[in-house]
C-alpha cells in the first residue's frame, strides 16, 4: 500500500529527456480507494489515491447489480471518498424500467444518482456540471459499462480505444491500466479497468458508513457489541422483522461485515507471519556472519 499509485502526489527526478523518472517521495494521501487483492491472496490492492469523488458506473442493462453497488459504496466510505452513482445505457430500456432502477438505487444509498446515455447524450450535460476544476474524480465499474466511452465524450474525441458492443448490447473490456486524464475544464479524471472481484478487507467503518441506516439503529441495541444476528434486544433485527429494513439489504450488510472481519483477521495473521519470518532471516544472517 505504501508504493505509489495513480492519483498520488510525488516528488520525482526526470532523466533521459523526461522519458523516465525516479520517485523520491510520496506525499500523505487524503483519501484512497482500495480492495482485497484478486484471488486467494489476502492483501490490499490500491486502486487510486487522493480522489474527491468516485463515479460508480453501472449499466441499466445486464450489469445492473445493487449488491455490487453495496461493495463499491463500502470501498468509497472506507477511503473517505464521496460516491456518485451513474446509470449508463439508458437507451436500452424503457422509461418505466429506468424509474424502477432509480428507485432501487435510492433505496440502496443516499448518494446522488445520474442516468445517462452515451448514444443519445441524455444526462450528459448534468454529468459535466458535476465536474469541478481542480478536483479529482475516478470511474469505477465492471467491464463494458461505458466508462471509456464516457471519457472520450468528455474529451470530445476518440482518445482511448473502445470496442463494439456485443450482441446483447453490452460493451466489451477495453481499459487495461489506470490512467489520469486532465480535462479541458481543469478537472482530473481517472479511468480504471473493469473489476471482476471486489473483496473487502478491514473496512468495518466503511461498512457502517455504507449502511448508514444500520449504524443509526445500532445505538439502540441492548448490547454495545451487538452482531445484529442472534442477540435479544437487537434494534436492527427488530427493524427487519417489522419491515422497516429489507431482508435483502440486511443480508448484504451481514455478508460484507463478516467478509471484512474475516479478511482482516487473515491479513493480520499474514503480517504476523511475515514479521516472524523476517526476524528468522535476520537471525540466520547474523549467525552466518558469526
Is 117 inside any structural domain? yes
The residue written with cell numbers 445500532 in the block is 218
Once rounded to an integer, what is the mean pLDDT over residues 232-236? 91
Residue range 121-173, pLDDT digits in tens: 899 999 999 999 999 999 998 888 888 888 888 887 555 555 554 444 444 44
Domain boundary among 161, 191, 221: 191
User: Domain range spanning residue 263?
Assistant: 204-277
Is 290 inside any structural domain? no
**The three grid cell numbers given for residue 228, joined into one nine-digit string:** 445484529
DSSP letters along 72-134, please? HHHHHHHTT-EEEEEEE-GGGS-HHHHHHHHHHHHHH-SSEEEE--TTT-TTHHHHHHH--TT
In CATH, what number is assigned to the domain containing residue 118?
3.40.50.300
Do residue 254 and residue 111 come from a single domain?
Answer: no
**The three grid cell numbers given for residue 39, joined into one nine-digit string:** 484471488
Do residue 47 and residue 132 come from a single domain?
Answer: yes
Residue range 106-123, pLDDT digits in tens: 888 889 999 999 888 899
Do residue 152 and residue 174 come from a single domain?
Answer: yes
The residue written with cell numbers 522519458 in the block is 19
DSSP-assigned letter for residue 29: P
What is d(CA 148, CA 164) in angstroms, rounded to the nearest whole number? 12
Do residue 107 and residue 149 come from a single domain?
Answer: yes
Total structural domains in the chain? 2
Do residue 180 and residue 208 come from a single domain?
Answer: no
Amino acid at each position: 500500500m505504501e508504493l505509489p499509485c495513480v492519483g498520488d502526489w510525488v516528488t520525482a527526478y526526470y532523466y533521459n529527456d523526461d522519458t523516465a523518472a525516479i520517485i523520491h517521495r510520496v506525499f500523505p494521501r487524503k483519501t484512497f480507494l482500495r480492495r482485497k487483492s484478486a484471488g486467494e491472496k489476502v492483501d490490499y490492492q490500491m486502486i487510486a489515491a487522493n480522489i474527491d469523488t468516485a463515479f460508480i458506473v453501472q449499466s441499466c442493462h445486464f450489469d445492473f447489480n445493487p449488491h455490487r453497488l453495496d461493495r463499491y459504496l463500502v470501498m468509497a466510505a472506507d477511503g473517505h471518498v464521496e460516491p456518485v452513482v451513474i446509470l449508463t445505457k439508458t437507451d436500452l430500456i424503457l422509461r418505466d424500467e429506468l424509474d424502477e432502477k432509480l428507485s432501487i438505487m435510492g433505496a440502496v444509498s443516499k448518494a446522488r444518482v445520474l442516468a445517462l446515455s452515451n448514444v443519445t447524450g441524455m444526462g450528459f450535460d448534468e454529468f459535466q456540471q458535476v465536474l469541478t476544476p481542480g478536483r479529482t474524480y475516478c470511474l469505477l465499474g465492471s467491464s463494458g459499462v461505458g466508462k471509456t466511452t464516457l471519457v472520450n465524450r468528455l474529451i470530445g474525441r476518440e482518445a482511448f480505444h473502445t470496442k463494439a458492443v456485443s450482441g446483447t448490447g453490452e460493451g466489451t473490456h477495453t481499459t487495461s491500466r489506470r490512467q489520469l486524464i486532465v480535462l479541458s475544464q481543469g478537472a482530473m479524471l481517472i479511468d480504471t479497468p473493469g473489476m471482476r472481484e471486489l473483496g473487502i478487507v478491514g473496512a468495518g467503518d466503511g461498512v457502517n458508513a455504507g449502511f448508514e441506516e444500520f449504524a443509526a439503529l445500532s445505538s439502540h441495541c441492548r448490547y454495545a457489541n451487538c452482531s445484529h444476528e442472534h442477540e435479544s434486544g437487537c434494534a436492527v433485527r427488530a427493524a427487519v422483522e417489522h419491515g422497516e429494513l429489507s431482508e435483502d439489504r440486511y443480508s448484504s450488510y451481514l455478508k460484507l461485515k463478516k467478509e471484512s472481519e474475516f479478511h482482516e483477521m487473515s491479513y493480520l495473521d499474514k503480517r504476523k507471519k511475515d514479521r516472524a519470518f523476517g526476524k528468522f532471516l535476520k537471525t540466520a544472517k547474523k549467525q552466518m556472519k558469526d
